[in-house]
Amino acid sequence: MLILILLLLAVRGCLNARKERAFDDYLRDLSALVSNTNQLSQDFFGLLRDPGDLSGNALQAQIASYRGAADDLLRRARGLDRPDQLAGAQSDLVLAYELRAEAMRSLSRQIPNALGRTGRGEAIDGIVEGMRVLLASDVLYRRARDEMLKVLEEEEIDGDVAQSVFLTDPTNWLDRLAVGAAMAHIAGVTGAAGEGVHGTEIVSTVMRPGNVELSPDSTNNVRAQGPELEVSVLNGGDTQERDVIVSYELAGGGVLLQGDATIGRIPPGESRSATLAIEGDIPKGQELVLTVVVQPVPGEEISENNRASYPVLFE
C-alpha cells in the first residue's frame, strides 16, 4: 500500500508539473506576442502623429509593412499551444488578433486616399471605422485575459497574463475631425498637399426656414418644418481649395442625425457655402446639440476653428 501511494503521488506530481509547464510555456509565448503587438501599436500611431521626413510613397510603404506585421501577429496567435483549460480564452484571443489584422489592412488602404484631394471624406470615415475595429479588438483581448486569470486561479497556478491595448488614444482616433486633422497634417509634411498655405474655418451657420444665424452661446429657436443648414466656409490660405467637406451631427432626445455636403472649390481669401438638409424625425420642444464640422484640407495645421456646436430647440 505504501508503495502504491508513493506511485500515485509521483504520478500526480508529474501531471501537475506537466500542467504547470504547459501554462508557463503558453504565458511566455503570449507575453512575447503582446510585446511585439504593443510595439506595433506604438510604431503605427507614432508614425501617424509624426511622419518625420518621409515622402508620401515612403509613408505608404511603411504603413504596408505594419499591415504585414499585423498579419504575422495573427498567425502567431493562432499557433499558440494552449492548455485545454484555456480553449475559450484562446478563441477570444484569436478573434481579437483577427480584428487587428483586418483593421490594419483597411487602414493601409484608406490612409493614402485620405491624404489626397478626392475621396477624402469616404477615406476618413473608413479610418474612423478601422479605429472602431481596433477598439473592439481591445475589448475582446481584455475579456480573454480576464478568463485566463480566472483559470489560473482555479488551477492554483502562479502567473500573470500580459495586458494589450492597441488603440491607446480612442478619444482622438474615433473623432472624425481629429482624424481629418491628422491626415491633413501628414499630407502637409509628406508633400501630398502641394505648395502654399492651407486653412479653412467656419464663418457662419444659418438655419432655414427663418434664416436664423445660429449662436453657440445661447439656445437657438428654429422651425422643425424642412430644416436646412447653410454653412459658410472661409479659405484663409493662399491656395484654391477643392472638395471641402462639410458635415453636421444633430444629437439629443434619443436621436442622432448626420449628413454632409461638399463645396466644389473655394478661392483663396473667399468664402463659399454648403447647403445641408436635416433629414429624419426631429424631437420638438427639447434642446438638442447641432455640431457642424469642416474637414481640414490637406496641409491645414490649425483645426480648432473647423468645428462649431450650437444648442437648438425645434418648434
Each of the 315 residues of the chain gets a pLDDT tens digit; together they read: 565 554 454 445 554 556 688 889 999 999 999 999 999 999 999 999 999 888 888 998 999 999 999 999 999 999 999 898 999 999 999 999 999 999 999 999 999 999 887 788 899 999 999 999 999 999 999 999 999 999 999 988 888 999 999 999 999 999 999 999 999 999 988 888 888 999 999 999 999 989 999 999 999 999 988 899 999 999 999 999 999 999 999 999 888 999 999 999 999 999 999 999 999 899 999 999 999 999 999 999 888 899 999 999 999
pLDDT at 18 (0 to 100)? 64
Q: Assess if residue 174 is contained within a domain.
A: yes
Residues 109, 111, 113, 118: is their CA dihedral positive or negative? positive
Q: Assess if residue 195 is contained within a domain.
A: no
Q: Write out the E strands in the chain.
A: 200-208, 212-213, 220-222, 228-235, 241-252, 255-266, 271-277, 287-294, 307-314
Same domain, 22 and 90: yes
Q: Quote the radius of gyration of the chain (alpha carbons, Å).
A: 26
Where is the domain boundary, 141, 162, 190?
Answer: 190
Judged by DSSP in three states, 220 sits in strand
Same domain, 27 and 80: yes
Same domain, 180 and 220: no
pLDDT at 12 (0 to 100)? 55
Q: Assess if residue 181 is contained within a domain.
A: yes
Same domain, 178 and 226: no
Same domain, 263 and 183: no
Q: Assess if residue 32 is contained within a domain.
A: yes
Same domain, 213 and 114: no
Same domain, 205 and 186: no
**Domain holding 288: CATH number?**
2.60.40.10
Same domain, 13 and 35: yes
Range of the structural domain that residue 111 is part of: 2-190
pLDDT at 5 (0 to 100)? 57
For residue range 216-269, list pLDDT tens digits in order: 999 999 998 889 999 999 999 999 999 999 999 999 988 899 999 999 999 999
Q: Assess if residue 165 is contained within a domain.
A: yes
Q: Assess if residue 307 is contained within a domain.
A: yes
Q: Are 254 and 283 in contact (CB under 8 A)?
A: yes
Where is the domain boundary, 138, 164, 190?
Answer: 190
CA-CA distance, 59 to 64, in Å (whole number)?
9
| pTM, 2 dp | 0.86
Same domain, 30 and 162: yes
Where is the domain boundary, 125, 156, 190?
Answer: 190
Per DSSP, the residues of 221-262 read EE--SS-EEEEEEEE-SSS-EEEEEEEEEEEETTEEEEEEEE
Query: 253, 244, 252: which is closest to 271 by C-alpha?
Result: 244
Same domain, 7 and 152: yes
Same domain, 51 and 170: yes
pLDDT at 61 (0 to 100)? 92
Number of domains in the chain: 2
Q: Assess if residue 229 is contained within a domain.
A: yes
Say how many Å lie between the first and final Cα of the chain, rounded: 91
Q: Assess if residue 147 is contained within a domain.
A: yes
Same domain, 156 and 287: no
pLDDT at 26 (0 to 100)? 93
pLDDT at 9 (0 to 100)? 47
